[in-house]
Structure 1
Amino acid sequence: MNDRHRYQAIRRLAGGVAIVFGLLTVVSGGLVLFGGEQALQLAGNVVSFVLWFNFLAGFGYVLAGLGLLRRKRWAYRVFLALVTGTVVVLSAFSLHVLQGGAYEIRTVVALGFRTAVLLLLTWIAAIATANP
């Protein structure tokens, strides 16, 4: 496999990961947001602004993933906006925790994981869409 094919494979994989990640995010967030009181109770100490941001960002992951699969330059900008927003939400969440706000440890893990995945996807998109 030459470099061109390797880059195409990485771009396609990253686009697919973004789409699946986005769909899972929309479904899981949607179940908590719109699943009624029982779903909300099962979720535990939900931090509303994190939940809403992640739910809405899930649609952005799908859009950016589709753009990356089609090697569109705007995909990079969508990923950049998503990672920027995630870092802002992570910062606000950290402040919430430091001020004694209720939270679940899985939120800490999930935000860290999301940030890492988005940084990687943004980097791949920057390279993959630089010279379409």
Structure 2
Amino acid sequence: MSSSMGLRVAGGVALVFGALTLFSGGAALFGGKDMGAVVHFVLWFNFLAGFAYMVAGWGLWAGRRYARPLSLAVFLASLGVGAALAFHIAGGGAYEMRTLGAMSLRILIWAVLALVALRVLPRG
């Protein structure tokens, strides 16, 4: 797979993931449904990060240099929130298993997207 094709695939994944994140996060925050034991800082982070996912996704798709540090920042921020979630759970805080699963998936996806960005996009 060529570098430009890899960036387009990565960008497409980030854009779709960002759109889904904004939709699901918005529904959870503003939809008025009972979501169970919501961990509010995780929910707000994920919703707001959805905008960064979209910007990073477009940057990856278009091969823009800014996507390199932004993808890494999204990954590191997700890792930090994941660690905070782990501390929340270890301290006996209420949570849903889907929150743990979703956060783990986000970390994994952004680890791969950041790696693609770091390997393919130039520094700058």
* Number of matched pairs: 124
TM-score when scaled to structure 1? 0.89
Aligned counterpart for 1:11 among listed residues 7, 25, 33: 7
Write the mapping of 1:90-105 to structure 2, written as runs, cut at 5 A.
Answer: 90-105=82-97
Aligned counterpart for 1:107 among listed residues 87, 92, 99: 99
Write the mapping of 1:56-95 to structure 2, written as runs, cut at 5 A.
Answer: 56-95=48-87
- Structure 1: how far apart are the matches of 2:123 and 2:21? 30
Residue 124 of structure 2 is aligned to residue 127 of structure 1:
no
Dislocated runs of 4+, deviation >2 Å: none
Q: Is the 8 A contact 2:68 2:123 kept in 1?
A: no
Select the structure that is richer in helix: 1
Q: CA deviation at 1:7?
A: 2.0
TM-score when scaled to structure 2? 0.95
Deviations 1:81-100 (A, max 9, x none): 11111111011111110111
Superposition RMSD on alpha carbons, in Å?
A: 1.4
- Structure 1: how far apart are the matches of 2:123 and 2:42? 35
Q: CA deviation at 1:128?
A: 2.1
Residue 113 of structure 2 is aligned to residue 117 of structure 1:
no
Question: Cα distance 1:71–1:101, how it changes in 2: closer, same or farther (>3 A)?
Answer: same
- Structure 2: how far apart are the matches of 1:93 and 1:27? 22
Question: Aligned with 1:101: secondary structure?
Answer: coil
- Structure 1: how far apart are the matches of 2:69 and 2:99? 26
Structure 2 unaligned regions, length at least 5: none
Which residue matches 2:45?
53
